[in-house]
Structure 1
């Protein structure tokens, strides 16, 4: 049985035909439309093109937004046009295929649990570090969603009272200090506060935003200021891992998202901070903290495997 996974983000929609072992056989992509029905059209066109190449049994959608507990509607997405939209019913009718809906972080977590870094874990947590922080919790292989379908929102835990403003409306959220966006913001603040040389200074002086990728590249090149920023990021991540362990007590934590591509720069330091910060450190077993292995395809793979599992249950 082949299925299609569709990862619907604020910038692009990416789709792929996926085998049972997570292998992606074919892919297609398009920009994310800014009108609800136009986004329907985009999904339908991508799925139609892929389904014309290979016979598929179902379609899974991984959406960057709030999914209702029944997983039939998208309640809200900050960068998507769907609002309280019955997406599953509408697209099932249009595509002529069963459609399954999932939050994008949950889909990525499912993929890593089934065929990636968290394979075989009893309690697994995915922490996806990108523009913000996405998170997923799987218990005995099942995604935990909370009472209203939005758990766990780790990125919006308040870690600095009155701290950096967050697009969610709060201040001091974890993702303002521990994400790709946070890497760039921290670098800009440090450059403004010092005369020290940095490969990043020219970008800052041109009033261009410093990105997390810029910081990672500079750190890899030996830039001292960028290295300080990455070390601070690692400390925040270690503190976040301690919070995760205190609340969920997982056996595996997978670090995913765009920033995971640079895990060699910060993960060891984050593990040490985690061991120091966790309650009862030195007297309890710690989670195995691993970098994700599926990269940017995790959402596609997870959505497709979710659709496959649901189709097999029918």
Structure 2
């Protein structure tokens, strides 16, 4: 059982945990945003009970606590889901089994340092604003492209969470009426067209049809479309395969359309693109920039936000969660 908060040790480091659809990644983070130790585990299947996911989190956190005894000020959890305004409850997680889950209380009973909960993209934009690609920007937005799409908003140097705590769920904006069914229950959500799942879906459809345009992809998986992954499509694209490049460009086009809509609503100075799909670099970012310019309201007569790849990579959520947790305990 965890100690009372007044008895808990306060150190100079924090642990950040990034919970995605496929992995739980954790790290010890110092005050400069550097990750000094790491741990990782696979995310349990969404069909399992929430406790199994929570036990996985506890496992990676305890592994790291053993490496820095007495020096961990707090543990920050960046979750891919809707986090309530109390920052203690996961209201809904499309890719996990959490529904009104009192995550902070459950973890606090098992983990020694204080627990801080936030959406993973909120954590990521905080990290990129303080340590990464959005340094110097008072207003910026984070778009994380992974299994789905997450979003974070930084305005006037503060993370904007909304009245109920769940602002920034851009992936579930409808961009295609009656489009692809989304795991959230609606149709035509942005993440059905500009995410890792969208990339894999389109690649698999070509391979399953034995399209001559997808010969390289077909051979890489020996005709088994189920073996195709986003990283594999990106690898093939980087090797020069025209179809894989086209698939990434299509995702980039949809990304740019959504960014133009967000620019009309929020007018940020920068969009920071993170998540696993951002590993494609300019194969994704350049088509997004082009589509953004084509779709931007008032194009040619207004300043354009920068569209940049996240500097902190897949660790932005982890770093941000740790830094927000540290600030919640120590201030700053």
Question: Deviations for 1:16-46, whole angstroms, at most 9, x for unmatched residues?
Answer: 1110111111112233454333444333343
CA shift at 1:77, angstroms?
Answer: 2.1
Aligned to 2:33, the other structure's residue is in SS state: coil
Superposed, 1:22-171 pairs within 5 Å as 22-33=33-44, 34-54=48-68, 55-171=71-187
Quote the residue 2:215 is aligned against: 198
Query: In structure 2, how many angstroms separate the alpha carbons of the residues matched to 1:90 and 1:209?
Result: 36
Quote the residue 2:284 is aligned against: 266
Question: Deviations for 1:264-288, whole angstroms, at most 9, x for unmatched residues?
Answer: 2131232122112101101100011
Query: In structure 2, how many angstroms separate the alpha carbons of the residues matched to 1:36 and 1:262?
Result: 33
Query: In structure 2, how many angstroms separate the alpha carbons of the residues matched to 1:153 and 1:308?
Result: 25
Aligned to 1:304, the other structure's residue is in SS state: helix
Matched, 1:231 2:246: no
Q: 1:250/1:2 Cα in 2 relative to 1: closer, same or farther (>3 Å)? A: same
Check whether the contact 1:64–1:103 (CA below 8 A) recurs between aligned residues. Answer: yes
Check whether the contact 1:3–1:17 (CA below 8 A) recurs between aligned residues. Answer: yes
CA shift at 1:194, angstroms?
Answer: 5.1
Query: In structure 2, how many angstroms separate the alpha carbons of the residues matched to 1:6 and 1:276?
Result: 38
Q: 1:306/1:160 Cα in 2 relative to 1: closer, same or farther (>3 Å)? A: same
Query: In structure 2, how many angstroms separate the alpha carbons of the residues matched to 1:236 and 1:277?
Result: 11
Check whether the contact 1:123–1:138 (CA below 8 A) recurs between aligned residues. Answer: yes
Query: In structure 2, how many angstroms separate the alpha carbons of the residues matched to 1:195 and 1:114?
Result: 47
Aligned to 1:147, the other structure's residue is in SS state: coil
Structure 1 window deviating more from structure 2 (15-24 vs 73-82): it is 73-82
Taking structure 1 as the reference length, the TM-score comes to 0.92
Check whether the contact 2:210–2:218 (CA below 8 A) recurs between aligned residues. Answer: no
Quote the residue 2:28 is aligned against: 17
Check whether the contact 1:188–1:204 (CA below 8 A) recurs between aligned residues. Answer: no
Structure 1 window deviating more from structure 2 (163-172 vs 302-311): it is 163-172
Aligned length: 314
Taking structure 2 as the reference length, the TM-score comes to 0.87
Aligned to 2:308, the other structure's residue is in SS state: strand
CA shift at 1:209, angstroms?
Answer: 4.9
| Structure 2 gap segments, 5+ residues each | 1-11
Q: Which runs of 4+ in 1 moved over 4 A?
A: none
Structure 1 window deviating more from structure 2 (77-86 vs 165-174): it is 77-86
Quote the residue 1:176 is aligned against: 192
Check whether the contact 1:184–1:209 (CA below 8 A) recurs between aligned residues. Answer: no
Check whether the contact 2:204–2:226 (CA below 8 A) recurs between aligned residues. Answer: no
| Structure 1 gap segments, 5+ residues each | none
Query: In structure 2, how many angstroms separate the alpha carbons of the residues matched to 1:40 and 1:189?
Result: 35
